[in-house]
Structure 1
Amino acid sequence: MNRRTLPVTAALAATAALFLTGCSSDSEPDDKIKGADQGKSSHSSSSKPSPSASAEVADFGLPDDIKVEIESNKTGDKAKDQILKEQAEGLMARQRLFVDLDPNSRYLTRYYADEARDFYVSEIKKAKSEGRTITGTYRYYDRKIEKSTDDLAIVSYCEDRSKAYAKDIKSGKTRKTEPTPEDFIRNTATLRKTQHDTWLVQSFRGKTSAQECR
């Protein structure tokens, strides 16, 4: 699969390839996700995570061999910080999706909609059929709200997958690869606000070998 593909649907496919290598219904406001209302985890983009620099994201119950570091990037604006918080939770949920490999996962319906949700349903089924899951470290940093209205937001962010790998479910063997410039990705996600005041990712694009993320 070409990891340099950029436009929407193809970009989603490229993102999935990287993930495993190196129209929707809104969730109800009381649709609790297991682990999402528990203690906060300390995620940071630095090699030594600092709580002050970490996004306030709940523990999503990921296995010990998966580490997610998310830079806070708070703006001081309550509405924008809520968008960034839920976008960060969506990133955590994405890792959980490839651990559970459940196309009906509540993590999926809570944080994703439309094109993004359809895409992950497809990729979850593919990963499950191939007996693959994920392991390693996923870093997210330089998160910025490029545009926001009352019900729509565009968030850009950097992603480092140089220490993220696919893992064989049956054998538990990690499929390690050497880091490459393609492991540094600049993503743009479009989120919409639901009638329950939650934010869902509708679609996203990714540019691999992003110099601004290295």
Structure 2
Amino acid sequence: MNRRTMPVTTALAAAAALLLTGCSSDSGPDDKIEGAGQEESSSPPSPKASPTASAKVSDFDLPDDIKVEIESDETGNKAKDQILKEQAEGLMARQRLYVDLDPNSPYLTRYYADEAREFYVAEIKKSKSAGRTITGTYRYYDRKVEQNTDDRAIVTYCEDRSKAFAKDIKSGKTLKVEPSPEDFIRNTATLRKTEHNTWLVQSFRGETSAKECQ
């Protein structure tokens, strides 16, 4: 399978394509996973500071061959900016998950909950079994808090994976594919606030070949 022949599937099957076949997208058109309500677990190790991401989040000790660019998209609203900050940290944590391939990662329990967490646990196990990780550049932009209450928020954002690829762990070979409109994804994430005043991603969906992201 390659990106151009990827069918419209569930988010789980599409995400598997990223690391098992070298496809660069982890969500297909109208793919969706949903869930609600688990408690937050332990906090992750303290990452080192880095100016890599424009949103000024930490680099999570990512390898040199993985770059993450996140636009700040600050609003001037304290509550919304806090949501965007922690959502950006969650995006950084996602990359770290595919580096460590640890289903018990503290990065996973700190930034993801419910079906979003279950989704990544399943994908981490599949990727580890296949001996695949990630490499390249991941870019996130046009991030907006579309809705928010005291304990719930919906964030939409664009994602560019035209320079992101799967990599074979054993050989170190990058599984490159040609850039495609499918590399541009419009994502919608649902977050909830914990009793510790931190935000976790509960569910997300993504639409590939999103014209508004190109």
> What is the TM-score of this pair, normalised by structure 1?
0.87
Amino acid at match of 1:21: C
Name the CA distance, whole Å, in 2 between partners of 1:130 and 1:58.
29
Counterpart in the other structure of 2:126: 126
Name the CA distance, whole Å, in 2 between partners of 1:193 and 1:16.
28
Preserved contact between residue 12 and residue 123 of structure 2 (Cα < 8 Å): no
Could you tell me which of 25, 28, 34 is aligned with 2:39?
25
Amino acid at match of 2:105: S
Counterpart in the other structure of 2:85: 85
Name the CA distance, whole Å, in 1 between partners of 2:199 and 2:7.
28
C-alpha displacement of 1:18:
4.0
C-alpha displacement of 1:39:
1.9
Preserved contact between residue 3 and residue 15 of structure 1 (Cα < 8 Å): no
Counterpart in the other structure of 1:39: 49
Name the CA distance, whole Å, in 1 between partners of 2:117 and 2:11.
14
Amino acid at match of 1:11: A
Compared CA separation, residues 193 and 3, structure 1 to 2 (3 A) = farther
Counterpart in the other structure of 2:110: 110
C-alpha displacement of 1:56:
1.8
C-alpha displacement of 1:34:
2.9
Name the CA distance, whole Å, in 1 between partners of 2:38 and 2:169.
30
Q: Aligned to 1:95, what secondary structure does the other structure show?
A: helix
Counterpart in the other structure of 1:203: 203
C-alpha displacement of 1:42:
2.9
Preserved contact between residue 4 and residue 207 of structure 1 (Cα < 8 Å): no
> What is the TM-score of this pair, normalised by structure 2?
0.87
Preserved contact between residue 190 and residue 202 of structure 2 (Cα < 8 Å): yes
Q: Aligned to 1:42, what secondary structure does the other structure show?
A: coil
Q: Aligned to 2:124, what secondary structure does the other structure show?
A: helix
Preserved contact between residue 16 and residue 127 of structure 2 (Cα < 8 Å): no
State the identity %: 73
Name the CA distance, whole Å, in 1 between partners of 2:90 and 2:173.
27
- Residues 1:5 and 2:8 are matched in the alignment: yes
Name the CA distance, whole Å, in 2 between partners of 1:55 and 1:167.
26
CA-to-aligned-CA distance 1:17-43 (integer Å, 9 cap, x gap): 346522533135xx35231xx324232
Aligned length: 197
C-alpha displacement of 1:58:
1.1
CA-to-aligned-CA distance 1:36-69 (integer Å, 9 cap, x gap): xx324232xxxxxxxxxx1020120000000000
Compared CA separation, residues 199 and 12, structure 1 to 2 (3 A) = farther
